[in-house]
Chain A
Amino acid sequence: MLIVLDVLMFIVPALFSITIHDYLRHGELSLRRKLIFFSIYLLLINAITLAVSYMRGVRELNFSDMTLSYRLKYLGLGGVLGFLVPFIVCLLTEDIITIGGFIRYGKRFIRDIKRYMPYAVWAAKADLGAEVASSYLNWLWWLIEPFCMMIIYTVIFGYVFKAKEQYFPVFIFTGITMWGFFSRSINGSVNTVRNGKDIITKVYMPKYILLLSKMFVNGFKMMVSFGVIAVMMLAFRVPVSWNLMWMVPILLVLFLFTFGVGCIMMHYGVYVNDLGYITGIVLQMMMYLSGVFYSISKRIPEPFGEVIEKFNPVAFLISAMRSSILYCETPGIMVIAVWGLISLVLIALGVFTIYSNENAYVKVI
């Protein structure tokens, strides 16, 4: 068993990379180039991972007394890198972006955000308004829906499966709220360009603005849910401390991470017709691995729990949020910072990929 893992932890991230690379190039890679890029990824990713583990104090790879935890962490870091690296490689090799190009795109991003932000905000407001106007109980749904979900999950997991977390309803509600924001935004991002067809075939706009506007809508709903959480915390007499402040950076990182991943999914969604099915499956799997209804670190045996929590940002952010608002603990600040940084890289990659390809979008849809 362990031998399989030993081999997998070196190879899987590179396989992951080459699949993404192939998608980025619309499945046009020849077999020879695939092999070349595969070996590049294999070397690059393992070199970075080994360098990180060297810095963390692992001086040599000794398979006989290597812990399972180390292997899993190696695989986890490899997975994260395997997701990031192909975008950088593709931008550098195929789209021929130089350092100057990166800076130019960066400036353009800031200018575009300034210019189109009013549109994104207004569109979000108008969408929320339309949603209210067209439903019978209008804005009450934003409270009723997550509230009912919370009751269902509390009954099933609290009484049927006998979960024993302190303040269990609030615990679950926090998970559902944050997960809901993430999964709705990602699910929506795949079809964003196709749904915005009417507008983008008539006037130019940076395509991620559509995504941003959608995220504002979801973000607003999330805030409403957090209002309910605050009321519930009062009702359950949850003690609060200054650690409550951490919810701001946690939500910020959640927003940035979702935006970064969303941009990338949006780009794929234009070309790959059946991507919606995959995201549906992956999101479902991720939901159970994100501890929406249970505490990962308590329920999943060592060392898996810790690894999942560290390398699955949504799981990490949810548990960090819980520890800061429910249990008066300081969440892992370093890990928040690292995920914040990775989110910024993801956003840069996603936005730049969109910039260099968005001209073709209109012709495809």
Chain B
Amino acid sequence: MSKELAIEVKDVSISYRILNNISIRSTLFHKKTRDEVFEAVKGVSFEIEKGGILGIIGKNGSGKSTLLRSIAGVFSPNSGSIDLHGHSVSLMALGVGFKPLLTGRANIMLSGLLLGFKEKEIQERMDEIIEFAELGDFIDRPVRTYSSGMHSKLAFAITAMLETDIMLVDEVLSVGDERFKKKSLAKMKELISDEDRTVIIVSHSIETLKELCDKVMWMHDGEIREMGEPEAVLENYAEFMRA
């Protein structure tokens, strides 16, 4: 293998425990509730070279977002390992964690700090982000007053402008109005064209994935059903969905 790897996922399984909450009554009177375990991702392994662009497709509840979140480090897998080889990573998802009472500007700052940027670096990019998000006067109003479109525009702007080595994109390319959609797709292409940037895109849109990715993975019920050239995999997937 000539190129170095950016992401190595080895035999990863992630399970949720349903009914994990306990109340004081159930401990006192000791009603044993059996925890049901729901396995969202089952023994998935793959690797991406540095600069690669992987698309993940699959029906709802097939474990795509769960996998993405654990690559982003939000929670660690129950078994298996994920190695990012020391690259910085950011997850771009619908409704990025904003504090609703704070202004857009304050939220940009906080998100940036959480992604590991210095206060000065964010301050420098601030104008760029605000301009890209096209929020106008709303940038100085509390986020709770935003419409859902504005919400996602701001989220996209933050992750697009604060560039990390690995970008995980979860279903955000279809936000906003037509114009913003075009703009974000263009920005996305620009980001992807960078040789060193590794990207994973989760989407339901076959066209988007065809256009952007150089490899596509089809997940079904927590397992990899097919992985390879976009054309072939996407065709099979489309056929499967029609049936």
Q: Which residues of A contact B (CB under 8 A)?
A: 22-23, 26-27, 115-116, 118-119, 122-123, 126-127, 129-130, 134, 196, 198-205, 271-275, 278, 359-364
Decide if B114 is an interface residue (CB 8 Å cutoff).
Answer: yes
Complex-state Cα separation, A274 to B17, whole angstroms: 19
Complex-state Cα separation, A127 to B110, whole angstroms: 11
Instruction: Indicate if the CB atoms of B24 and A278 lie closer than 8 Å.
Output: yes
Instruction: Indicate if the CB atoms of A126 and B73 lie closer than 8 Å.
Output: no
Decide if B102 is an interface residue (CB 8 Å cutoff).
Answer: yes
Instruction: Indicate if the CB atoms of B22 and A198 lie closer than 8 Å.
Output: no
Contacts of A119 in B (CB 8 A): 110, 113-114
Q: Is the interface of A mostly helix, strand, loop or mixed?
A: helix
Contacts of B109 in A (CB 8 A): 122, 126
Instruction: Indicate if the CB atoms of B74 and A26 lie closer than 8 Å.
Output: no
Instruction: Indicate if the CB atoms of A130 and B113 lie closer than 8 Å.
Output: no
Contacts of A129 in B (CB 8 A): 102, 106
Residue on B nearest A115 in the bound complex, by CB: B116
Instruction: Indicate if the CB atoms of A199 and B97 lie closer than 8 Å.
Output: yes
- The smallest C-beta distance from A130 to any residue of chain B, in angstroms, reads 5
Contacts of A118 in B (CB 8 A): 113, 118-119
Decide if B45 is an interface residue (CB 8 Å cutoff).
Answer: no
Complex-state Cα separation, A22 to B96, whole angstroms: 36
Contacts of A116 in B (CB 8 A): 113-114
Instruction: Indicate if the CB atoms of A198 and B95 lie closer than 8 Å.
Output: yes
Instruction: Indicate if the CB atoms of B75 and A359 lie closer than 8 Å.
Output: yes
Q: Name the contact of A199 in the complex, choosing from B21, B73, B99 (C-beta under 8 A).
A: B99
Instruction: Indicate if the CB atoms of A203 and B97 lie closer than 8 Å.
Output: yes
Closest 9 CB pairs of A and B: A199-B97, A204-B73, A126-B106, A27-B27, A119-B113, A198-B97, A202-B97, A130-B101, A359-B75
Complex-state Cα separation, A150 to B67, whole angstroms: 54
Complex-state Cα separation, A130 to B100, whole angstroms: 10
Complex-state Cα separation, A129 to B109, whole angstroms: 14
Contacts of B60 in A (CB 8 A): none
Residue on A nearest B118 in the bound complex, by CB: A118
Instruction: Indicate if the CB atoms of B93 and A202 lie closer than 8 Å.
Output: yes
Contacts A198-B95, A201-B69 known; A272 to B74 CB distance under 8 Å? no
- The smallest C-beta distance from B95 to any residue of chain A, in angstroms, reads 7
Contacts of A127 in B (CB 8 A): 99, 101-102
Question: From residue 181 to 204 of chain B, which have CB atoms closer than 8 A to chain A?
Answer: none
Complex-state Cα separation, A129 to B101, whole angstroms: 10
Q: Contacts A273-B22, A364-B20 given; 5 further ones with Cβ under 8 A?
A: A119-B113, A130-B101, A203-B73, A203-B97, A274-B25
- The smallest C-beta distance from B18 to any residue of chain A, in angstroms, reads 10
Instruction: Indicate if the CB atoms of B24 and A126 lie closer than 8 Å.
Output: no
Decide if B237 is an interface residue (CB 8 Å cutoff).
Answer: no
Complex-state Cα separation, A204 to B116, whole angstroms: 11
Contacts of B27 in A (CB 8 A): 22-23, 27
Can you offer 24 A-B residue contacts whose CB atoms are under 8 A? A26-B22, A27-B22, A116-B114, A122-B110, A122-B119, A123-B110, A126-B106, A126-B109, A130-B106, A198-B95, A198-B99, A199-B98, A199-B114, A200-B97, A202-B93, A203-B97, A203-B111, A271-B22, A272-B24, A273-B22, A274-B23, A274-B25, A362-B69, A364-B21
Instruction: Scan B133-156; emit 1 where CB is below 8 A from any A CB, else 0.
Output: 000000000100000000000000
Contacts A271-B20, A271-B21, A278-B24 known; A134 to B114 CB distance under 8 Å? no
Decide if B85 is an interface residue (CB 8 Å cutoff).
Answer: no
Complex-state Cα separation, A364 to B109, whole angstroms: 28
Contacts A119-B114, A122-B109 known; A204 to B23 CB distance under 8 Å? no
Decide if B103 is an interface residue (CB 8 Å cutoff).
Answer: yes
Instruction: Indicate if the CB atoms of B91 and A203 lie closer than 8 Å.
Output: yes
Number of interface residues of B (CB under 8 A): 39
Complex-state Cα separation, A308 to B90, whole angstroms: 51
Complex-state Cα separation, A360 to B76, whole angstroms: 9
Complex-state Cα separation, A274 to B20, whole angstroms: 14
Instruction: Indicate if the CB atoms of B23 and A272 lie closer than 8 Å.
Output: yes
Residue on B nearest A209 in the bound complex, by CB: B114
- The smallest C-beta distance from B65 to any residue of chain A, in angstroms, reads 10
Complex-state Cα separation, A301 to B143, whole angstroms: 55
Query: Chain A CB within 10 Å — which of B26, B30, B69, B97 has the most?
Result: B97
Contacts of A361 in B (CB 8 A): 75
Residue on A nearest B94 in the bound complex, by CB: A202
Residue on B nearest A277 in the bound complex, by CB: B24
Complex-state Cα separation, A180 to B118, whole angstroms: 34
Contacts A198-B97, A360-B75 known; A203 to B24 CB distance under 8 Å? no
Q: Name the contact of B114 in the complex, choosing from A201, A203, A272, A359 (C-beta under 8 A).
A: A203
Question: From residue 55 to 84 of chain B, which have CB atoms closer than 8 A to chain A?
Answer: 69, 72-76
Contacts of B111 in A (CB 8 A): 203
Complex-state Cα separation, A272 to B69, whole angstroms: 25
Contacts of A274 in B (CB 8 A): 23-25
Instruction: Indicate if the CB atoms of A203 and B95 lie closer than 8 Å.
Output: no
Instruction: Indicate if the CB atoms of B113 and A122 lie closer than 8 Å.
Output: yes
Contacts of A278 in B (CB 8 A): 24
Contacts of B115 in A (CB 8 A): 203
Residue on A nearest B98 in the bound complex, by CB: A198
Residue on B nearest A198 in the bound complex, by CB: B97
Decide if B16 is an interface residue (CB 8 Å cutoff).
Answer: yes
Question: From residue 6 to 26 of chain B, which have CB atoms closer than 8 A to chain A?
Answer: 16-17, 20-26
Q: Name the contact of A203 in the complex, choosing from B72, B118, B119 (C-beta under 8 A).
A: B72
Complex-state Cα separation, A129 to B90, whole angstroms: 27
Instruction: Scan B109-132; emit 1 where CB is below 8 A from any A CB, else 0.
Output: 111011110110000000000000
Contacts of A363 in B (CB 8 A): 16-17, 20, 75
